[in-house]
Chains A and B, each alone.
Chain A
Amino acid sequence: MLFTTVLLGLIFALPFASWMRRYLLADSLQFYGVVVLPLTLTWLWLNRYRLMLPELDTLMKRYQAGRMDRLTSAEKWAREEREYNAVISLLKEKPLPPKRLFWPLLLAGFFTLIASWINDPTITALAFVFMIIGLVGYRHGTQALRVAAFPLLFLFLLVPIPGDLLESARVWMTGRVMSLLLHVLLNLGIQAELSLQYNPLTILATQPYALWASQVRLGLAPALLFLVCNIWYLSLIRARFRTKFFAIVCGMVWMSMLMIARLALLAWVGINDKDMVTYLAPATLILLPLIGAVGELFVLRGIKCQKYQKWVSI
C-alpha cells in the first residue's frame, strides 16, 4: 500500500502542481478542487470498516431476499439491524475471492503515458482518477468498486475544467447573480443599473459606484466550495436520497441569499465609502461559507438528517 502510494505520488506529483495552479487562479470557480483530495481521504478513513468488507452488501441482499416486503419501515429498520449483526457473524467465514478487473488498470496505465506526453492538466487529472479506479478494481475487486463509488466519483471534481467552459459558466452565473442583486437593490430603493449587459452594476447616487464582479468577488467560488463540502457531508449521513437532495437545494438557496445580502451590503457601503469596500469585501467573503455551514446545519437538524451511516466511525 505504502509503495503503491509512493509510486502514484511520483507519477502524479508534477501534474498535481499544475492542477493546483488552476484551482488557485484569481477568482477561479474551481477553488473547491483544493479540498477534494483531503475530503476523499477523510471519507475513506471514516468508512474504513465498510471498505474492509465490500462483500457485505451482497450478503445482506441474499439474506434479506423475500423477507422484507411486507414489513413497515420501522420493522424493516429493526430487522435490518438484527440481520446486519447476523451477516457480520457470517463474515467470519472465509470470503470468496473478489472478482478482479485487470484491463481497466492496464488501460489507465496506458492513458497515463499518453497524458504525460500531452501534459494538459485536464487530461493528467483524468488519468489520475482512472488510475485510482483501476487500482481499486484490480486490488479489491468489483464489489469494492461499488462500495467506493462515492469517493471515486467525488475524485472527478479534481479534474480541472477547460478554461473556456469554466468561463462560460462564470459569465452565466455572474449574470444571474447580478440581475438578482439589481432587483434586490431596486426593491430596497437604491437606484442601480447593469452596465454592459451584466457587469458592472452601477449604483446611481451622487457619486455613482460601479460594483465590478471580480473586484468585490461575487462569492461564487466559496458557494461552490460549500456545495462540494455539503455533498461530501451528506454522503456520510443516513437518509433517503430525496431528503439529501432537499438538503442540498436548501443549502444552495441559503447560500444564494447570503451572497446577495453580502453584495447588497457592499453596494450600500460603496455609495458612502468606497475605500471601506476594499476591506469589507475579502472579510465577508471568508465568512460566507462559514455562515452558510451554520445555516445548513440548522436545515439538517430541521429535517432530522443528522444520523451518520452505520459504518461511519468518527
Chain B
Amino acid sequence: MSKIPKVGLHIIALLILTGLGSFGARLANHWRISRQEMVPIPEHIDVNQYRWMGADCAPPVGDGERDHPIALNRVYQLGIHAPVFVSIARINTLNGLRSPASYLMDTDGRLMEGNRAEIREVGKKRVRFVMEIAQGHDSTILLMHWVQAPNQPAYADYADIPKSVAKALLLHSTLYSCDIWVPLRSDSNGAFIRSTLVRFADDIEAQIQTGHLPKDTANLLPPPGQLNQDGSPVNTPVPSPAIAPIPAPGIPSPLSPTPPGSSPGGNGSSSPFSNSPADSPGGSPTGGL
C-alpha cells in the first residue's frame, strides 16, 4: 500500500471516529439537558392583597443574544397595572450569562448608569438580586436579575458561584438565569413596582430553592370568591399616593446610585429603595425592601 492512501485511510478513520464520538456527545448532551427539570413557576403570585395572574408569553426580544436557551417565559397581569414579565432560562452556553439588558431590550438597550441597587439578605454579604433600569430606543424597563442553581440560594452575580457556572457550562448541570421586569410608563408607581418585583423575586427564588412557595403566601390570599375578573381582590387598597412614581425616560430616576461600601437593599434603612414604609411588602422572606 502506498503512503498517500494510508494517510487518507488514517484521516477517514479518525474523522469517522470523531464523527461517531461527536454524535454520541451530542446525544449525551441532549439527554443531559432534557433531564434538567424546568422549575415550575406559580400560576399566580400574590403581593399583599393583589393577585397577579400568569400566562405564557413569547421570549424576550433579544433571546438570540443568549443563544435561544430553554426557558420559561411568563407574563403576570393585574388590572391596569403594567405587566410583570418573568423569564427563567437554563444556562448552557457562555452567552447565557450575558447582561440582561442585551437580551431583554432592543439592540440599543443598555443598563442606565447610577440606577442599580443590590438586594441582600439581612446581615449577610451575599447579594441576592440586582435591580436596574435598562433603556432601549422604544422602551424603558425596571428589571431584577439573578442566577440560581436548584436547591441553592440566589446570587446576583454569576462570578460569585464559579463552581455552579463551570458545572453548567461544562457538565450541563442546571443553572437558571432569572429575570423579572416591568416596562416603565410615565405614570408608573415606583415603590409599588419595586415592592412587587421583590415579592416576585422572593417567591421564585423560594420556588427554585425549596420547590415550593414561601409559607406566608397562603396567609395573604384573599378568599377565592372575592376576586375581580382581572384577578385583583375586591376593595383592594390603592397603593399609597405618597410614593413617588418612576418618571419617564430621560428624567432622573428615583433609584439613586448605590453608595460605595454601603449595603443597600435588604432590611437596611440605608437602601435607596426603602424610602417609605409602604415599600415593604409584608410577608417577604427578606422583610421587603
Contacts and interface: CB of A to CB of B under 8 A. Distances in A.
Interface in B32-56: none
Contact of A21 (B3, B25, B64, B102): B64
B137 A214 contact: yes
Given A4-B15, A105-B14, A214-B107, A116 B21 contact: yes
B94 A162 contact: yes
A94 B106 CA distance: 62
Contacts of B16: 7
Interface stretch (B4-12, B207-215, B224-232, B240-248): B4-12
Interface residues of B, number: 44
Q: Which secondary structure dominates chain B's binding surface? A: helix
Contacts of A10: 19
Contact of B15 (A11, A22, A213): A11
B98 A105 contact: no
B137 A215 contact: yes
Contacts of B169: 118, 120
Given A214-B106, A215-B137, A113 B18 contact: yes
B157 interface: no
B108 A7 contact: no
A7 B3 CA distance: 21
B92 interface: yes
B234 interface: no
A129 B250 CA distance: 46
Contact of A138 (B10, B62, B137): B10
Contacts of A138: 7, 10-11
Q: Which secondary structure dominates chain A's binding surface? A: helix
A112 B108 contact: no
A116 B29 contact: yes
B102 A163 contact: yes
A164 interface: yes
Interface of B: 3, 7-8, 10-12, 14-19, 21-23, 25-26, 28-29, 62, 64-68, 92-95, 97-99, 102, 106-108, 110, 112-113, 135, 137, 169-170, 250
24 contacts: A7-B12, A7-B19, A8-B15, A25-B64, A26-B64, A112-B22, A114-B25, A116-B21, A116-B22, A117-B28, A118-B29, A120-B169, A121-B93, A135-B11, A138-B7, A162-B95, A163-B66, A164-B99, A167-B98, A167-B99, A171-B110, A212-B137, A214-B108, A215-B108
